[in-house]
Amino acid sequence: MKILLAVDGSPFTAKAADYLLSHMNWFQGEPELHLLHVKAPIPVGRARAVLGHDEVEQYYREESAAVLDPVEKLFNEKNIRTRSGYRTGEIADEIQAYIAENGIDLVVMGSHGHGALKNLVMGSTATKVLAGTTVPVLLVR
């Protein structure tokens, strides 16, 4: 089974990771665990032009590593191997593309994240992922 854990560094992501760790016995054999962080792109304009492509890419790498590394460490301490990566773009769209490209069977994510706009019941990113994917999504609150 291929499981995608969407990672954004929020407390809800930490809860989702803990929940997944405590329920690994649900899965027959060792699942293939993917960790994905999606960074909203720096808007095209002066800041991006001044910084340059290499600096912007370095920023994305460093910011993503800061979010992914603690989660990777958590799973590695339990001898659970992970594949991790990051993308830039609209978060829900990138998660959905990753699901399709990697044959993901289950998405695990926090019900809320670091998004600026939140719905009352669940985060807007979670809502978009639920609406746009055909694989099961486990939301952890």
pLDDT digits (tens, 9 = 90+) for 35-56: 999 998 887 776 667 778 788 8
Distance separating alpha carbons of residues 28 and 84, to the nearest angstrom: 22
Mean pLDDT taken over the chain: 88
State the pLDDT confidence band at 123, using cuts at 50, 70 and 90. low
Distance separating alpha carbons of residues 13 and 73, to the nearest angstrom: 14
Give the single-character DSSP code of 24: G
Distance separating alpha carbons of residues 41 and 74, to the nearest angstrom: 27
Tell me what percent of the residues of the chain surpass a pLDDT of 70.
88
Global pTM? 0.87
Architecture of the domain whose range is 2-140: 3-Layer(aba) Sandwich (3.40)
Which residues are CB-neighbours of 23 under 8 A, at least 6 positions away? none
The whole-number pLDDT of residue 62 equals 96
pLDDT at 117 over 60: no
Distance separating alpha carbons of residues 121 and 133, to the nearest angstrom: 19
81-98 confidence digits (pLDDT tens): 999 999 999 999 999 999
